[in-house]
């Protein structure tokens, strides 16, 4: 079974393949954009630059899964689908950044931030933010369209294409619903309770980050509905564990390693699972004084962090992650005793779980 | 030829057909949305209500064209495509309203305005605007996805489907570019010159309002590339004339008839062709004092309106409209002498031109 688990160098090779395909998509759109004037071309080249800088988690997962299911398959369409998944990811990120009014992502200027800078340099300070947010909305629309265009043109039997379109539709509906709940939690339109946060997390992140690539690979590989269903459940466990780990890291992690502002979630008042647990404890009144304060000072942040540990929130979320990873392990064991997921894919899922468990950045 | 021109009652029948199809799409999405909580369902039901209230100009044009090309054709797929075109229109409107920070459209609350009202009623005054704009961005994403889903699933030969996908891709790129130029004109990132405004108008409005329905009908009806090309040119003339007429009406028209705030374009500082002409005249310094003033008073607006007439802007834009309609008439005459557009469609195009010419609301 060990040969089925990809090594780091396998993943580098997959990354290069995906990058080549994404570059081809971006270059094609750039050529089309040239007809529409300097500003539009510049918007697209900024967008392309950001898309190129991604971690490619989702497309690599899709390709790894496809390769494990069809070691001798024709990978061209899998590569195309992988690109679609990355385009969808960036469309969501761009609209999310507009919604969250962020100028940075993971410490770097995001597209809005970059457009603000270039418009300010052009002497358009007062309108720069509006111009930049407009650009991000429109670039998101273009990438959302690209994702659909790729899936719609997949060279596969009619029934396969329809299943992929169904999956895309479901994923977008679910992710959109999750995003709306997330904003609803921040804006006080949705009551902040731990269950609501977990459902939101599953919808907003797990659905398109793990379930989509796993299921898309299964469909393209000609897998049964049973395989697709089992991978969907596996994806939900992995996705939830991944995002909860992300929430923990952003408060308790080593900022130097993961590159995020260590207190941005606290400053922005993000209703993560960590926060929702703390809200039910006696530590909350003190934490609440600093939660959502854009001016949060490091010494207060350190204090809040300690309170989040002492009130049991950190341990509780770690336990939630363990639950999800344990459920994944159990699912894999069940599948081994007679299920739809083949051995290579089972090994890949366990490897993923181990990487999420050990994640430090 | 007169029998080919639709009567008002034909159009009422077409409208009912389109409404039925749009209702079916909206009901389907509502059922899917139910899984995702009260707020998401409410977002979708507000969205559906707005989509239902549209004038249906674009889907009716598509169906009229298809019927004229294939009087005995199977109209089911044409109806589906008509719905896709309307979904795309609303996706653009929703994102446009967020970008323009509008709460109303044609005198009525738009989706953002309505969500602000309901969030304010729920006691969430401070976050209401953010919540509402988030809703409009996400609802726009869902409608943009719906438009793609419908086109991707059209039951037609592979080559037809690919041509339709190409058309959708081209239209979205062009409309997005037009929207970006329009905002660039307002934000001072694009120099406001009359040619730039005409190109922007062609891209932002003519492309998806006239060219898309005409070309989509031609493709679905199995028309030749020559027919599609000729209809594309016809659509550009009609679309430009339509939007320029709209710009004129919004400044000089009878507000009671067209239902728009008569001075909203002036208040918002919209760089229409009327304004761009006036900028090159000696009347501009006085107009400029009021242009883009959200507090513009009726007596000043009347004065600006008179100046826009006296400086020749009104006449100039009327002449531009006449040019476009004359070009359309000439194209139709050429086609009659031996072209790709059949008689029924030529009659329909002339009828459309006459309606744009005589438009009062």
Query: Are residue B146 and residue B168 in the same domain, yes or no?
Result: no
For chain B, give the mean pLDDT: 92
Q: So what's the pLDDT on residue B8?
A: 81
User: pLDDT class for B258, splitting at 50, 70, 90?
Assistant: low
Looking at CA atoms only, how far is residue B177 from chain A in angstroms?
A: 6
In DSSP terms, A104 is beta-bridged to: A109
Which positions ≥6 away from B286 have C-beta within 8 Å? B303, B304, B307
What's the rounded Cα separation, in Å, for the pair A212 and A10? 22
Which positions ≥6 away from A216 have C-beta within 8 Å? A62, A81, A85, A164, A167
Query: Are residue A179 and residue A293 in the same domain, yes or no?
Result: yes
Query: Are residue A322 and residue A262 in the same domain, yes or no?
Result: yes
Query: Are residue A212 and residue A331 in the same domain, yes or no?
Result: yes
What's the rounded Cα separation, in Å, for the pair B100 and B342? 41
Where b means 16+ CB within 10 Å and e means fewer, A89-118 reads: bbbbbbbbbbbbeebebeeeebbbbbbbeb
Which positions ≥6 away from B314 have C-beta within 8 Å? B248, B251, B252, B274, B308
In whole angstroms, what separates CA B33 from the centre of its chain? Answer: 27
Query: Are residue A235 and residue A114 in the same domain, yes or no?
Result: no
The number of domains in chain A is: 2
Which positions ≥6 away from B24 have C-beta within 8 Å? none
Report the residue of chain B nearest A151, measured CA to CA.
B152
**Which of B155, B185, B204 is a domain's end point?**
B155
What's the rounded Cα separation, in Å, for the pair B3 and B222? 23
Q: Chain A partners of B35 at a C-beta cutoff of 8 Å?
A: 177
Give the model confidence (pLDDT) of B7-32 as tens digits. Answer: 788 888 999 999 999 999 999 999 99
Looking at CA atoms only, how far is residue A118 from chain B in angstroms?
A: 11
> B222 with B83: CB under 8 angstroms?
no
What's the rounded Cα separation, in Å, for the pair B131 and A196? 18
pLDDT at B255 over 80: no
Which positions ≥6 away from B72 have C-beta within 8 Å? none
Hey, is the C-beta of A134 within 8 angstroms of any chain B C-beta? yes
Hey, is the C-beta of A292 within 8 angstroms of any chain B C-beta? no
Give the model confidence (pLDDT) of B175-220 as tens digits. Answer: 999 999 999 998 888 888 899 999 999 999 999 999 999 999 999 9
Instruction: Please provide residue A291's backbone torsions phi and psi, each rounded to the nearest 5 degrees.
Output: -65, 125
CA dihedral A245, A248, A253, A255 (to 10 degrees): 100
Query: Are residue A40 and residue A67 in the same domain, yes or no?
Result: yes
Query: Are residue A181 and residue A289 in the same domain, yes or no?
Result: yes
Query: Are residue B307 and residue B342 in the same domain, yes or no?
Result: yes
In whole angstroms, what separates CA A139 from the centre of its chain? Answer: 18
Q: What is the ipTM of this complex?
A: 0.95
Query: Are residue B45 and residue B8 in the same domain, yes or no?
Result: yes
Looking at CA atoms only, how far is residue A83 from chain B in angstroms?
A: 17
> Which residue would you say has higher pLDDT here, A120 or A330?
A330
In whole angstroms, what separates CA A214 from the centre of its chain? Answer: 14
DSSP secondary structure, B102-143, as one string:
-SEETTEE-HHHHHHHHHHHTT-HHHHHHHHHHHHHHHHHHH
Give the model confidence (pLDDT) of B287-325 as tens digits. Answer: 999 998 989 998 999 999 999 999 999 999 999 999 999
pLDDT at B5 over 70: no
Encoded tokens for B218:
């031609």
The residue written with tokens 């509502």 in the block is B30
Q: So what's the pLDDT on residue B264?
A: 80
> A230 with A331: CB under 8 angstroms?
yes
Averaged pLDDT for residues A341-352: 97
What's the rounded Cα separation, in Å, for the pair A232 and A221? 15
What's the rounded Cα separation, in Å, for the pair B226 and B223? 8
Q: So what's the pLDDT on residue A258?
A: 59
What's the rounded Cα separation, in Å, for the pair B188 and B208? 25
> A208 with A171: CB under 8 angstroms?
yes
pLDDT at B361 over 80: no
What's the rounded Cα separation, in Å, for the pair B133 and B151? 27
First vs last C-alpha separation in chain A: 28
Q: B257 exposed, middle or buried (CB, 10 Å; 0-12, 13-18, 19+)?
A: exposed
**Which of B122, B155, B188 is a domain's end point?**
B155
Neighbours of A178 (CB within 10 A): 23
Q: Chain A partners of B43 at a C-beta cutoff of 8 Å?
A: 180
Query: Are residue B172 and residue B81 in the same domain, yes or no?
Result: no
Encoded tokens for A39:
């500003």
What's the rounded Cα separation, in Å, for the pair B277 and B281? 7
Q: So what's the pLDDT on residue B74?
A: 83
**Which of B121, B155, B189 is a domain's end point?**
B155
Hey, is the C-beta of A137 within 8 angstroms of any chain B C-beta? yes
What's the rounded Cα separation, in Å, for the pair B86 and B333? 31
**A 163-182 near B (Cβ less than 8 A):** 165, 168-169, 172-174, 176-177, 179-181
Which positions ≥6 away from B289 have C-beta within 8 Å? none
Query: Are residue B36 and residue B131 in the same domain, yes or no?
Result: yes
Neighbours of B201 (CB within 10 A): 24
Query: Are residue B99 and residue B141 in the same domain, yes or no?
Result: yes
Angle at the Cα of A117 from the Cα atoms of A131 and A23, rounded to 5 degrees = 85
Structural domain including B176 reads: 156-361
Give the model confidence (pLDDT) of A262-280 as tens digits. Answer: 788 888 888 899 999 999 9
Q: So what's the pLDDT on residue B260?
A: 63
CATH number at residue B190: 1.10.600.10
């Amino acid at each position: 079974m060990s040969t089925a688990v990809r090594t780091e160098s396998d993943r580098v090779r997959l990354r290069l393949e995906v990058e080549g395909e994404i570059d081809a998509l971006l270059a094609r759109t750039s050529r089309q954009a040239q007809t529409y004037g300097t500003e539009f071309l510049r918007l697209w080249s900024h967008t392309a630059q950001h898309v190129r800088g991604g971690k490619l988690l989702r497309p690599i997962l899709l390709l790894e899964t496809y390769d494990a299911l069809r070691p001798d398959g024709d990978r061209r369409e899998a590569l195309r689908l992988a690109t679609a998944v990355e385009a969808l990811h960036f469309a969501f990120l761009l609209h999310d950044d507009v919604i969250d009014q962020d100028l940075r992502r993971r410490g770097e200027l995001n597209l809005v931030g970059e457009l603000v800078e270039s418009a300010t340099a052009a002497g358009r300070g007062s309108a720069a933010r509006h111009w930049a947010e407009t650009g991000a909305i429109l670039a998101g629309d273009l990438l959302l369209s690209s994702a659909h265009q790729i899936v719609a043109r997949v060279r596969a039997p009619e029934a396969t294409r329809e299943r992929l379109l169904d999956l895309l539709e479901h994923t977008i509906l679910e992710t959109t619903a999750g995003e709306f709940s997330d904003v609803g939690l921040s804006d006080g339109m949705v009551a902040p309770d731990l269950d609501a946060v977990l459902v939101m997390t599953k919808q907003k992140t797990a659905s398109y980050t793990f379930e989509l690539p796993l299921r898309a690979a299964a469909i393209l590989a000609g897998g049964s509905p049973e395989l697709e269903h089992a991978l969907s459940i596996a994806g939900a466990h992995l996705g939830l564990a991944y995002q909860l780990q992300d929430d923990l890291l952003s408060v308790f992690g080593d900022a130097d390693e993961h590159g995020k502002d260590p207190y941005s979630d606290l400053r922005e008042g993000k209703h993560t699972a960590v926060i929702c647990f703390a809200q039910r404890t006696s530590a909350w009144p003190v934490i609440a004084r600093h939660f959502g304060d854009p001016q949060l000072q490091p010494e207060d942040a350190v204090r809040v962090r300690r309170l989040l540990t002492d009130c049991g929130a950190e341990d509780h979320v770690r336990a939630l992650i363990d639950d999800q990873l344990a459920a994944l392990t159990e699912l894999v064991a069940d599948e081994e005793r007679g299920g739809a997921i083949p051995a290579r894919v089972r090994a890949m899922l366990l490897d993923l779980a181990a990487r999420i468990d050990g994640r430090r950045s």
